[in-house]
Structure 1
Amino acid sequence: MLKTRRGGCHCGDVRFECEIDLAPEGQRSPPPRPGIWWTTTFRCNCTFCRKTRMWKVFTTPERFRVTQGEEKLVEYRHGACEIQHVFCGRCGLHPFARASFEPLGGDFVCVNIACLDDVDPQELEATPIVYEDGINDAYDVAPRFTGYL
């Protein structure tokens, strides 16, 4: 079910709200756009996601708002520099990323589920996950090993 969630960085300087759906398959709201990106969460083994422990859920810019601390965010881009990874300039946490890709329908925000404040462990346990083999640029294939993600 689509719910408004609140989250932020560790020190509290950066806060955000987003409308996302973490429900198991069969209980989810209709996705805002076509494609798998809007119907599940993702864990990737690329060097960036692995090192930051990113657990991502996609949402549209209309369903995402920084409510505090936009000026405290610092940006990092790597590789093709298409994704704007943002971090709190004080505590260093990575609460979300922003980019625009046509296969995803244009602009999107990737929220780091670990930065949400109002999701209980039972709900996280039931949240569906798709694993991506980003280290081999095979985002539509699960890597051989996923337990560490």
Structure 2
Amino acid sequence: MKTYHGSCHCGAVRYEADIDLARGTVKCNCSICTKMRFWAVQLPPASFRLLQGREALREYRFHLRRDGHNFCGACGINIFTSGASAAGPFVAVTVGSLDDMPVEELLAAPLRVFDGRNDNWVTPPGETRHL
């Protein structure tokens, strides 16, 4: 477990998160994740701390309106998603918004891909190269 720091592009939103990269990273093929090229690290909500910019955050929910996709209202960068899964509440921090995570550590972490497009959270989709 290590504490990393992240932000949006313009710096209006800043956070820190306690991340265990041994647990891996996630990608999803649902409609919004595909368009965002969503790549994230899932955490328990207590491991995520918003340090600045709550007023700059905007949230987008769709379909079942279960998960909140949070982005900076000024620069548009997707920063994190919050929601609940079968494993419980989570925050999924986008790896692109992490400022101090070495690329080598990120690439060495295991990767799980979800078939959100078919609401199948157990079996990965057959094709993942586009994600």
Give the TM bin, normalised by the shorter chain: over 0.9
| 2:106 maps to amino acid | L
Establish whether residue 49 from structure 1 lines up as the match of residue 33 from structure 2. yes
Q: Which runs of 5+ in 2 are unaligned?
A: none
Does the residue aligned with 1:95 lie in a helix, a strand or coil?
strand
Establish whether residue 66 from structure 1 lines up as the match of residue 50 from structure 2. yes
Shift of 1:68: 0.8
- Identity across the alignment (%): 44
Q: How many corresponding residue pairs?
A: 131
Return the alpha-carbon distance in structure 1 between the equivalents of residues 84 and 26 of structure 2: 17
CA offsets, 1:50-103, max 9 Å, x none?
1111112111121111101011001110011011111100000111011234x2
Q: Which runs of 5+ in 1 are unaligned?
A: 24-38
Shift of 1:131: 1.2
Residue 123 (structure 2) aligns with:
141
| 1:117 maps to amino acid | D
Matches within 5 A, 1:98-117: 98-101=82-85, 103-105=86-88, 107-117=89-99
Q: 1:40 aligns with which of 24, 32, 38?
A: 24
Residue 124 (structure 1) aligns with:
106
Does the residue aligned with 2:104 lie in a helix, a strand or coil?
helix
Establish whether residue 92 from structure 1 lines up as the match of residue 91 from structure 2. no
Aligned-pair Cα RMSD in Å = 1.2
CA offsets, 1:10-42, max 9 Å, x none?
11110000001113xxxxxxxxxxxxxxx3221
| 1:121 maps to amino acid | V
TM-score normalized by the length of structure 2: 0.93
- Larger strand percent: 2
| 1:104 maps to amino acid | A
CA offsets, 1:113-140, max 9 Å, x none?
1110111121121011011111111121
Query: Which runs of at least 4 in structure 1 moved beyond 2 Å after TM superposition?
Result: none
TM-score normalized by the length of structure 1: 0.83
